[in-house]
Structure 1
Amino acid sequence: MPRSSSSWEGSEALWITAAGWASAAKRKFGNAIVVTSDRIAEPSEVWNYPLNQKSGRQVAKRRYSYFPSFCRTLFNDLVVCKNLMDWKLLKSDLLQGKNPAFVWEKHDLFFGPGKKLSQKLNVPLISYVHAPVVWEASKWGVKRYWWGKWLERLEAQSLRKADLVAVVSEEVKEKVMTMGVAEEKILISPMAVEPQLFSENKQLSQEINEAYKLKDKFVIGWTGSFRKFHGLDHVIKAFKKVSDKHPHTILMLVGDGAERQNSERLVKKLGIHDKVIFTGRLKFLEIPQYISLFDVAVVSARSGEGFHYSPLKLREYMAAGKAVLAPNAGEIPSTFQDEQNVKLFNAGNIESLKNGMLFLIENDDKKQEIAQNGKQKILGSGTWEQELEKAMNFLDI
């Protein structure tokens, strides 16, 4: 991973991806390590990254917010660049006496150390691309002005040096091809799941159930980071309509983020504060116990436009055996079948989202069928081991 173990707060899916690939590699090859700019870790340690969050971080963020957005972006880019220049861990005999099969690196804004390490060890380099950084940030409204095109050229050079570029979706594949990456070097490798993490711990789940008084309640749940593109205001508004018809329903929102206060204000305005639970930020390994209490699990999106990513939470919900309500956006409708292993709704349409919730509440047999089929699909084709095998076959390892 090209940054420190305390990086990517709010983007924990990046660490979960690294932990998933490393865990699968350890089972296949007998050993695997995750290297960051500040430490070396076992795969099992990485599930709860990032580490070392400083107490003054939020104060610093508030002070930093007074600067113009382009200044903040430029400063962040310079910090990332500086941190990548000094990888002391790679100057040591990191893998002395080892015989690694490959180097896996999460693609970042600047050249990471992966290529140098793979050349030193004479093994292939896999560059894993959730999305090209400049391109994805521009979708969320981040402007890099004069230096953006230069950074994207650096990204392209970095990707072209990899032996395999693993991307999460067809849209990301198309983008990296426009950056000069040959199609024969690209493998679509969507987000996956570690199934054993989502096996139910009944004792802990029961404690959570009692703490939130969920007995005889129908729980509609969501997990993630509170961000605008998730459209949680749509979820809350749709739930309001549902709860008016089915008073025994509860909405549980697991996570934290910039939009949480807006979500809490909306809940209060709609008069449903007694029906919506905000759990706050949880460690990743705690989240499966909360998901185990969901009757329906929601993947949300404000819009289907530009939906380029591969939803990690969708796979996790399915691995936990939950019926999933998801938008018909991006890779989802081509990967999953409506009313077979997922229930689809029109992204950005509150009425469609509401109807999806009602469908799963009022059709219990169908809900159970969707949940069972979804779990079977994920266990059959959606684990990190299976994604690793695809990459190994691609590289003929």
Structure 2
Amino acid sequence: MNNKEKNKTALFVMPRKSSAWKGAEAMWITAGGWAAAAKRLFGEAIIFTNDTSATPKEILSYPVNSSKDKNQKKRSILVRYSPEIIKTLYKDFLLWRASKNGTLYNHKAVIKDQNISLVWEQHDLFPGIGYKLAKKYNVPFILYVHAPQVWETSKWGVKRPIWGKIIEKIEAKSLKRADLVACVSEQVSQKLIEMGVPKEKIHISPMAVDPHLFDDINSNSIKRKFDLNNKLVLGWTGSFRSFHGLDLLIKTFDQVLMAVPNAILLLIGDGKEREEIEKLVEDLDISENVIFAGRKSFIDVPKYVNAFDVAIVSARSSKDFHYSPLKLREYLGAGIASLAPDAGEIPKTFIDNLHLRIYEIGEIESTSQIIIELFRDQEKRQILGKNGKEFILNNGTWDVELDKALKKLNT
């Protein structure tokens, strides 16, 4: 790449405030990953939220803390005791209003006289200013979709009678005007086509990692803190939600302990189902072998992952498994022997017994046997870790995904 191409700026739009998406940090991580790759390619990348701007490195620490004024607190109390459908409607209204107010942020002062190369935006219920910026600078507009929001949240039980259809039409309009719609999986791609997005605009771009985040990581402090030395650690990161099937993981680990009594299950994350999972652990009388480490910032996660002997992606069902697990890429990028379910894009992307081990969801006995075998075979763990990391470095980095998207735009 010549100097003229190198001295360009890629713009990234996150159509919410910098304090948003707590519990869904993958949104910020995705933007940070793409932006870091764009900075390496073009020379500069700026990420805009509805209230500020940030660098690719800064965005990895989002969401930032936000203080609420007294009126906000009063409204929050009123909403808290309202029916769930009213809470959803109220949140959607606030998000719609924020999307409108976000256009008032002074982006022009930040961009100044820079040579803009492309505009990338995280898809949301309501669009941000990405499309307008792309039109203004006459550059390609990429819209990144983890999943259409009305469709995905309905799978979680969120109900939007009447207004949900209206919002989905807004989503469809936003999607169709992008030059390229990058999505995480084939299932999401099919939904986009149903929403009217031309197939030729759709580009499947799974989650990826920045391998530099796992360079020279020392987890000794983590091992000392949780007394993990001379233990065999099964690790998991994520949110305590039903679709992750953590109850199945706990029952599987209970079986593992019968064969490997010095095993530890280290859970990194938090969520509304944590209390239920903690109770299940107590009921099975395995509390001494299960550690709830809580939610950690993204930049601290590699230290914990590096403390795992074996890592696992959990799931409740293979049905509607539409997402691309970021945590799996992180495990592999760290060189950790990993297990993942036979669901979604995983068996199409990775080779069982070469890059990782694939297990059948709900098959507690067979899954526990795979974990036991890996715990007992250090050489096998090392081979899987080495192969998995090599695969990610060659195929699963944000730089690779950016390159593929740009090639798609130019075809």
For 1:55 and 1:278, how far apart are their aligned partners in 2?
29
- Give 1:118 shift: 0.8
Q: What is aligned with 2:176?
A: 160
For 1:83 and 1:194, how far apart are their aligned partners in 2?
31
For 1:353 and 1:138, how far apart are their aligned partners in 2?
30
Correspondences of 1:242-391 after superposition (within 5 Å): 242-391=256-405
Runs of 4 or more above 6 Å deviation: 55-63
Question: Any unmatched runs of 5+ in structure 2?
Answer: 1-13
For 1:100 and 1:379, how far apart are their aligned partners in 2?
28
Question: Any unmatched runs of 5+ in structure 1?
Answer: none
Correspondences of 1:65-144 after superposition (within 5 Å): 65-86=80-101, 87-90=103-106, 92-144=108-160
For 2:212 and 2:78, how far apart are their aligned partners in 1?
42
TM-score by length of 1: 0.96
For 1:297 and 1:54, how far apart are their aligned partners in 2?
36
Give the letter aligned to residue 18 of structure 1.
Answer: A
Give me the CA root mean square deviation. Answer: 1.8
Counterpart of 1:224 (choices 238, 251, 257) is 238
- Give 1:62 shift: 7.6
For 2:108 and 2:349, how far apart are their aligned partners in 1?
44
Pair 1:37-2:53 in alignment? no
- Give 1:61 shift: 6.7
Counterpart of 1:16 (choices 29, 32, 50) is 29
For 2:78 and 2:24, how far apart are their aligned partners in 1?
22
**Percent pairwise identity:** 50
- Give 1:93 shift: 3.8
Q: Is the 8 A contact 2:79 2:86 kept in 1?
A: no
Deviates more, 1:381-390 or 1:363-372: 363-372
- Give 1:144 shift: 0.7
CA deviation profile, 1:187-231 (whole Å, cap 9, x unmatched): 1110000101012422xx111111111111000000111111111
Q: Secondary structure at the match of 1:348?
A: coil
For 1:201 and 1:22, how far apart are their aligned partners in 2?
23
Give the letter aligned to residue 387 of structure 2.
Answer: N
- Give 1:364 shift: 2.9
Q: What is aligned with 1:207?
A: 221
Pair 1:5-2:18 in alignment? yes
For 1:245 and 1:100, how far apart are their aligned partners in 2?
58
Count of matched residue positions in the alignment of Structure 1 and Structure 2: 395
Q: Is the 8 A contact 1:217 1:250 kept in 2?
A: yes
Q: Secondary structure at the match of 2:162?
A: helix
